[in-house]
Structure formats: structure tokens, C-alpha cells
């Protein structure tokens, strides 16, 4: 699996859209299309930022090591929550966020 395939796989594994990924790391919305067409490998200029975004090593993305991170139970729960969250309406998302913030605030006390 090459670097681009790993990036695309991580996007899928994390349940995010390609556009969200590109927005979050500050890249143009056409970047992935350009990468796929082979017109640029600009992801290499941003490899550190991409590795940090997905919490993997640059070496993993470049194929020099296997992914050593193991998913914790909290990460599994967060992924399941994200999948559910993505299917909600904007109004329901706002309610979930408000509830989560209330629980967090209560836990701090």
C-alpha cells in the first residue's frame, strides 16, 4: 500500500469525509483528486501534518513501519459515537453536543 492509499484508508477508518480532512489540515478541496490523478504528490509536503492528524507516524505513512497504534476501548467508543453523530440532523447534533458538554462539566466538579 503506498502513501496515498494509506491516507485514503485512514480517512475511511476515521469515518470522516475527504473534504473534512482537507479542510482540517488546510488543503485545497481539489487536492485528493490531484493526488489520485498523479498530477502532484503534494501530500509529501504535508506528511507531518497528516501524520499528526491521524495520530500515526510519518514512517507508517511512508511505508517504513507498520502501524503500531492499537485502538483503545475509548477510541472504539468514540468511533461508534462519531458514526451515529454523522447520521443525525443538525438540530440533534447540537443537542448531543450540549449534552456531552454538560456531562463533561459535571465530571469536572
pTM above 0.85, yes or no: no
- Is 9 contained in some domain? yes
Does residue 35 contact residue 42 with C-beta atoms inside 8 Å? yes
Tell me: the pLDDT tens digits for 33-64?
999 998 888 888 999 999 999 988 888 899 88
Within a domain: residue 66? no
- Ordered DSSP codes for 38-89: TS--GGGGGHHHHHHHHT--HHHHTTSS-------HHHHHHHHHHHHHHTS-
Residues of the chain with pLDDT under 50: none
**pLDDT at residue 48 in the model:** 93
57 shares a domain with 99: no
Q: How many domains does the chain have?
A: 2
Residue located via cell numbers 505513512? 61
For residue 98, is it within any domain? yes
- My answer on whether 52 and 90 are in the same domain is no
- My answer on whether 53 and 81 are in the same domain is no
Amino acid at each position: 500500500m503506498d502513501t496515498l492509499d494509506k491516507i485514503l484508508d485512514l480517512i475511511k477508518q476515521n469515518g470522516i469525509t475527504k473534504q473534512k480532512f482537507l479542510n482540517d489540515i488546510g488543503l485545497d478541496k481539489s487536492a485528493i483528486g490531484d493526488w489520485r490523478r498523479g498530477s502532484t504528490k503534494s501530500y509529501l509536503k504535508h506528511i507531518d501534518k497528516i501524520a499528526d492528524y491521524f495520530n500515526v507516524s510519518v514512517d507508517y505513512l511512508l511505508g517504513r513501519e507498520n502501524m503500531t497504534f492499537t485502538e483503545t476501548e475509548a477510541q472504539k467508543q468514540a468511533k461508534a459515537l462519531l458514526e451515529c453523530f454523522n447520521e443525525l440532523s443538525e438540530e440533534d447534533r447540537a443537542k448531543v453536543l450540549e449534552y456531552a458538554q454538560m456531562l463533561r462539566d459535571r465530571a469536572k466538579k
